[in-house]
């Protein structure tokens, strides 16, 4: 599989890089310090087409697909992972789910505003008792005439307080653990919907993470995605794209860590020698560069499969598992190269170290990725070498 970028892909990558360097970088440090969600940044991203990359032109998007999205997410993640997370969720989960599973009415109603960032989308699965085990969710979704009544709580929802709509998963059949889950488009303006607790996190601080509260929240029956009982299938299908997105922005974090490490090591002297000339530093740099390239190629492969409509749960899990691990190790090594100053907020590596950590938790923990990969590999071997 070849990954030589086309002229169009290079242009998209350059546009994202220029935006990240010129528009995002000057505000990223302050936004992450104050926890302020940079809404003006998302308006600009919408104008450039980055909020509708997976949306067809007929619904106001640019229809460039997952591969071009990961090129953009890497550049955004290199400068501000908080921004990249919101862009990933918006495109990979919200836009994609509505496009693939929404009625034509829902597509026309929501996708144009999502594609231009008139509204931001959020994705609500996690509950106090349902994290990695999606089938354990309890949010009640009861049909009542032409509406559904939603009651319950979602937690750890990225940008849920800033969103115009949330993709919400609820239980429509309490007796069916996996087949009794359905998905809905819920506007934040619907009666009965409110924002609860805002989490204080160690990283990704410019991306708000909140609790969503549903108290007799009335949702039109037409806002269901797919049909009753399709929620688990929709959630698992969307997660492949979400994991590819997180993997891409994690490659960006890792690349930023390598950049910072090399630039600092060229200037810093110890014992009368630049520390970049020490073999121990060079070995760290070599390992970082090699692992980043390996992770990037896995992300590219998964994205290409996604664009070809080829099922890719194993490849998406591999990309996320390796890329997030590489990001954490690269941030660790970059901080180590910086020494004591790297532990201060004056240097970017301190934020990279904190931001990288979430990658191995959200969109499925690293342990879940290993389960996905191992099950698929075992299934492949069983098909090739069936037992008698």
- Active site members: 363
Could you report the per-residue pLDDT of 313-368, keeping only the tens digit for each?
Answer: 999 999 999 999 999 999 999 999 999 999 999 999 999 999 999 999 999 999 99
Query: What mean pLDDT is reported for the chain?
Result: 96
Residue 256 near residue 79, CB atoms below 8 Å? yes
Domain boundaries 7-119, corresponding CATH code = 1.10.540.10
E-only strand ranges, the chain: 121-124, 140-144, 147-158, 165-171, 181-187, 193-198, 209-220, 224-225, 269-270, 273-274
Burial of 286 (0-12, 13-18, 19+ CB in 10 A): exposed
Res 1 pLDDT > 60: no
Domain boundaries 122-228, corresponding CATH code = 2.40.110.10
Res 36 pLDDT > 90: no
Give the architecture-level CATH label for domain 233-384: Up-down Bundle (1.20)
Could you report the per-residue pLDDT of 8-17, keeping only the tens digit for each?
Answer: 999 999 999 9
Mean pLDDT across 258-284: 95
Mean pLDDT across 66-83: 98
Q: How confident is the model at residue 269 (pLDDT cuts 50, 70, 90)?
A: confident
pLDDT at site 302: 97
Q: Where are the domains of the chain?
A: 7-119, 122-228, 233-384
pTM score, whole prediction = 0.95
Q: How confident is the model at residue 79 (pLDDT cuts 50, 70, 90)?
A: very high
Could you report the per-residue pLDDT of 206-239, keeping only the tens digit for each?
Answer: 999 999 999 999 999 999 999 999 999 999 999 9
Render the burial of 15-32: b for 16+ CB within 10 Å, e for the rest: bbbebbeebbeebbbebb
């Amino acid at each position: 599989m070849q990954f030589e970028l086309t002229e169009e892909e290079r242009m998209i990558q350059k546009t994202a890089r220029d935006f990240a360097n010129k528009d995002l970088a000057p505000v990223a440090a302050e936004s992450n310090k104050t926890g302020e969600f940079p809404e003006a940044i998302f308006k600009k991203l919408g104008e450039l087409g980055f909020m509708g990359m997976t949306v067809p032109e007929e619904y106001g998007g640019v229809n460039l697909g997952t591969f071009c999205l990961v090129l953009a997410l890497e550049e955004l993640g290199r400068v501000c992972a908080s921004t990249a997370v919101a862009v990933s969720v918006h495109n990979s989960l919200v836009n994609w789910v509505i496009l693939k599973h929404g009625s034509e009415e829902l597509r026309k109603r929501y996708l144009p505003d999502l594609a231009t960032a008139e509204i931001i989308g959020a994705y609500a699965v996690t509950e106090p008792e349902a994290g990695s085990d999606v089938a354990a969710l309890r949010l009640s979704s009861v049909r009542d005439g032409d509406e559904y009544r939603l009651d319950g709580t979602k937690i750890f929802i990225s940008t849920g307080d800033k969103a115009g709509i949330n993709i919400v998963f609820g239980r429509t059949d309490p007796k069916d653990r996996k087949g009794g889950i359905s998905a809905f488009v819920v506007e934040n303006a619907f009666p009965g919907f409110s924002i609860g607790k805002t989490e204080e996190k160690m990283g990704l601080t410019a991306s708000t993470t909140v609790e969503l509260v549903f108290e007799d929240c009335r949702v039109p029956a037409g806002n269901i995605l797919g049909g009753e009982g399709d929620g688990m299938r929709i959630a698992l299908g969307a997660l492949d794209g979400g994991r590819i997105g997180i993997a891409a922005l994690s490659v960006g974090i890792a690349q930023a860590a390598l950049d910072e490490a090399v630039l600092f090591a060229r200037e810093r002297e110890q014992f009368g020698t630049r520390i970049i000339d020490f073999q121990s530093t060079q070995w760290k740099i070599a390992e970082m560069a090699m692992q980043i390239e390996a992770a990037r190629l896995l992300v590219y492969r998964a994205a290409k499969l996604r664009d070809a409509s080829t099922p890719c749960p194993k490849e998406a899990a591999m990309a996320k598992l390796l890329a997030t691990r590489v990001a954490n190790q690269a941030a660790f090594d970059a901080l180590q190269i910086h020494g004591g100053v790297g532990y201060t907020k004056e240097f970017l590596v301190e934020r990279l170290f904190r931001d990288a950590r979430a990658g191995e938790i959200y969109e499925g923990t690293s342990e879940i990725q290993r389960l996905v990969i191992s099950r698929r590999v075992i299934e492949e071997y069983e098909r090739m070498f069936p037992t008698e």
